[in-house]
């Protein structure tokens, strides 16, 4: 699908299977969310611009590539996005973090905002929005609406697992925001859960159910 990158790397696919397995412990789930996010981060940053900088190796002076421009922003959608953001920070420790507090109203399935905090100059930076599950797409669309209101124009969205309806909703509301995911499932159930999915990512990360 246009604008959607499925990361088919065997390590990512193996880890996603561990996440889908209902018998995986909370500890394993949390660890593997973080590891998978690190691998997805590698993919989403693949085309970042670089510039040559002057350095000295122990042997000689040389020019070598370094990432150019302002530091990235990771924008986890609370709370399930937090563990993914940690995995991305393992790879890009100098990144800034914007927290977006949204929850899904269980009846309307619409996103409700309760917290929003970004770096002051977020509009000048590439923002990678992070949420493990792209289900209906309502939360992702609301988060990106809000970031655009705050002046952000350069965004990417990364999830562990997408559902076709969520991808379609996000692509239609924000065609300028490309999506990365480990897989896309076809359906949602009546409660907005991805089928077969992996269950409630927040509850499985934090052991709240």
Would you tell me which residues interact with ligand URA (CB under 6 A)? 80, 133, 135, 192-194, 197, 200-202
Q: Least distance (Å) from ligand URA to the CB of residue 38? A: 20
| Closest among 37, 21, 144, 41 to 83, alpha carbons compared | 37
Contact partners, residue 181, CB within 8 Å, separation at least 6? 4, 5, 6, 7, 134, 158, 159, 160, 161, 162, 167
**CA 136 vs CA 89, 194, 206, 208: distances in Å:** 27, 9, 22, 22
Q: Which is nearer to ligand URA, 153 or 208 (CB)?
A: 208
Q: Least distance (Å) from ligand URA to the CB of residue 82? A: 13
Q: Which is nearer to ligand URA, 58 or 106 (CB)?
A: 106
Q: Which is nearer to ligand URA, 123 or 192 (CB)?
A: 192
Q: Which residue has the tokens 């999830």?
A: 159
Specify whether the CB–CB gap between 78 and 112 falls below 8 A. Answer: no
Q: How many helices (H) and strands (E) does the chain have?
A: 6, 15
Q: Which is nearer to ligand URA, 124 or 200 (CB)?
A: 200
Q: Which is nearer to ligand URA, 94 or 114 (CB)?
A: 114
Q: Least distance (Å) from ligand URA to the CB of residue 163? A: 8
Q: Least distance (Å) from ligand URA to the CB of residue 134? A: 8
Q: Least distance (Å) from ligand URA to the CB of residue 125? A: 27
């Amino acid at each position: 699908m246009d604008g959607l990158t499925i990361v088919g790397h065997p390590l990512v696919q193996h880890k996603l299977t561990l996440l889908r397995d209902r018998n995986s412990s909370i500890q394993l789930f949390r660890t593997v969310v973080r590891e998978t996010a690190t691998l997805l981060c590698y993919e989403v940053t693949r085309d970042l611009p670089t510039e040559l900088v002057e350095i000295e190796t122990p042997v000689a002076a040389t020019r070598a590539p370094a990432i150019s421009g302002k530091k990235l922003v990771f924008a986890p959608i609370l709370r399930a996005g937090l563990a993914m953001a940690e995995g991305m920070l393992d790879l890009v420790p100098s990144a800034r973090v914007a927290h977006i507090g949204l929850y899904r109203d269980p009846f309307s399935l619409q996103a409700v905002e309760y917290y929003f905090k970004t770096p002051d100059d977020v509009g000048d930076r590439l923002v990678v929005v992070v949420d493990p599950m792209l289900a209906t797409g309502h939360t992702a669309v609301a988060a990106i609406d809000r970031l655009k209101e705050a002046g952000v124009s350069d965004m990417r969205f990364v999830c562990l697992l997408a559902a076709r309806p969520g991808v379609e909703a996000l692509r239609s509301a924000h065609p300028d925001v490309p999506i990365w995911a480990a897989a896309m499932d076809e359906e949602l159930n009546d409660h907005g859960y991805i089928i077969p999915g992996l269950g409630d990512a927040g509850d499985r990360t934090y052991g709240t159910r």
